[in-house]
Amino acid sequence: MKPAIFITLLFSCLLISSCNRTEKSNAAQWPYGVKYEIFVMSFADGDGNGKGDFKGLTMKLDYLKNLGVNGIWLMPIMPSDTYHKYHVIDYNNIDPDYGTLADFKIFIDEAHKRGIKVITDFVINHTGNMHPWFIQAQSGKNNVYRDYYVWAKKDSIRNQIHKKSVSFDSDNLRKWHPVNGDTLGEHYYGYFNGLCPDLNLDNPKVRDEILAIARFWLNEVKVDGFRMDAARHIFMDERAEDNHAFWVWFRKEMEKIKQDVYLVGEVWSDSKTVAPYLKGLPSLFNFDLGNAITNVAYSGMDTIGLVKKYKDISDYYKSVTTEYLDATFIKNHDQTRLLTELKGDLNKARMAAALLLTLPGTPYLYYGEEIGMVGDKLKTYEDFFGPDAYVREPFIWDVGDKDPLQTSWEKPAFSTDKTVTPVSVQQSNPGSLLNFYKKLILYRNSSLPLTQGDIEESGITVSEVVSFTRKFKAQEELIIHNVSDVEVTLRLDDENKKFNDVAYTSADSFTLKDGELKLPAFCTVILK
């Protein structure tokens, strides 16, 4: 590196650190900022039984604070008879695996003290089949809970019973299910499977129950919002418009309970299907983007026109609602882990993270992504938990059981201290994946263009490069990613030459001179 450039870099580094103090709190203001999805069972075990819980999670809040996240999404925490807890059997409590309501309230309090908000999965499309409502509902047509669920005479659904329909989020072919020992000749509707019967949200009594539950969590327990599971399945597929209207109603009711409630929804589908949901749920997970980022990072080429594709969809959503706030992510708890899809290439994992953390929206990290956890959903499985458990394995704090909060509820098939470098080791290595995340999140949190700004194409069209500008009021940044494994030399055009300050770079060997950039393989640069 030439001395003049070294001085420029040093000077801009000094500028960044002095700016951090003044701008940081503004830029990453809620609901902006980086979020972190947690499967509590696998995170931190506070009482030594191997299962993660809120005592443990509370003790690890500083880890999340240091990582730079300002929001946590907890996968379901209510009592359930399934390990993943998506089949709720009591809406007003904490699953005993995770502790008590009192533990949870302490956790919320401690998170809030650190400036971290907490949202929980709220599963209202269905209950578990062991929920007392469903147990009652099966007892007879006159039971008061019968109408809490969706029933049909067996004859009336004969041609639908084996109807083939597969969607992004379900490969279940059978939506109608018989009741064991039933003499009433009716089947119940369960979109995902027979173990989780769909609630009848046409029934005002069920809606009242849902509102009472929300009041409990928002007012009494003080969670900051909800992640709404299976948002597109509230009513059957052919009632899409009723689904859209439901969420408008739901949001209005939630805002009556807590004016600044944060809601993010799961509508796992293409953008055309997603768009009408934005009126009720202005934050929805961007599944397309997660796939696109993985694709570009893996191939080392931008063959899909990532920025244009992103912008087209985002502009389309903004035409539906001006409140649109993209919930971006690479992978979640239902998908094969990022590093596994990238065939274990850590450089590519860094690039995927760099793309996520420089694009618009509120990026969600899936726990373990930042330390390079692995897990393949498609592996043939023979154990009790099923394939998803392989992408929800224990987080790795230290070597062996050195960390007293290490969870061990399942025997990991993929992520162990042999295949993943533990947190403790990564923390002391400045070049680790974990420190890569930390440094870039720290920068993002200090930058208004990155956290809240618009996105435009930069005019740089080289297939090894993904480049765009981010602009917030008068502040503008040019982001350039060399997604390939070879060095790329670029000459900035007159329009882009105004960006001559290096605000962030992932590689020390990067150079900028007279508008000419030399980007080493897998290098990300942010210019101001």
> Would you tell me which residues interact with Ca ion (CB under 5 A)?
45, 47, 49, 51, 53
Q: How far is the CB of 99 from Ca ion (least distance, A)?
A: 8
Is the CB of 310 or the CB of 409 nearer to Ca ion? Answer: 409
Cβ neighbours of residue 120 under 8 Å, at least 6 residues apart?
73, 74, 76, 77, 217, 223, 226, 227
Distance CA 51, CA 40 (A): 8
User: From CA 119, how far away is CA 226, in angstroms rounded?
Assistant: 5
Which is the catalytic residue, given 45, 169, 266, 410? 266
482 close to 523: Cβ distance less than 8 angstroms: yes
The residue (of 70 and 407) whose beta carbon lies closer to Ca ion is 407
CA 379, chain centre distance (Å): 23
Q: How far is the CB of 50 from Ca ion (least distance, A)?
A: 7
Q: Shortest distance, CB of residue 57 to Ca ion, whole angstroms? A: 10
- CB of residue 81 vs Ca ion: minimum separation in angstroms? 18
DSSP letter at 369 equals G
- Between CA 410 and CA 382 the distance in angstroms is 13
Catalytic residue among 53, 198, 224, 229: 229
Q: Tell me the residue nearest to Ca ion as measured from the CB.
A: 53
β-strand partners of 176: 189
- Closer residue to Ca ion (CB): 41 or 296: 41
Give alpha helix (H) positions in 45-147: 54-59, 61-67, 101-113, 132-137
Residue 61 Cβ vs Ca ion, minimum distance, rounded to whole Å: 16
The single-letter code of the amino acid at 151 is W
Quickly list DSSP for 247-287: HHHHHHHHHHH-TT-EEEE---S-HHHHGGGGGT-S-BB-H
Distance in Å, CB of 94 to Ca ion, minimum? 12
Query: Looking at residue 524, what DSSP letter applies?
Result: E
How far is 189 from 160, CA to CA, in rounded Å? Answer: 11
* Catalytic residue flag (residue 266): yes
Residue 24: other Cβ atoms inside 10 A: 15
Q: Please say whether the dihedral angle defined by the alpha carbons of residues 299, 302, 306 and 307, taken in this order, is positive or negative.
A: positive
Which three-class secondary structure state does DSSP give residue 152?
Answer: strand
Give the residue with the Cβ less far from Ca ion, 175 or 392. Answer: 392
135: left (phi over 0), alpha (psi -120 to 50) or beta: alpha
Of 51 and 377, the one with the shorter C-beta distance to Ca ion is 51
Closer to Ca ion by Cβ: residue 291 or 408: 408
Asked if 229 is an active-site residue, the reply is: yes
Residue 168 beta carbon to Ca ion: minimum distance, rounded to whole angstroms: 33
Q: Nearer to Ca ion by C-beta: 63 or 134? A: 63
Tell me the catalytic residues: 229, 266
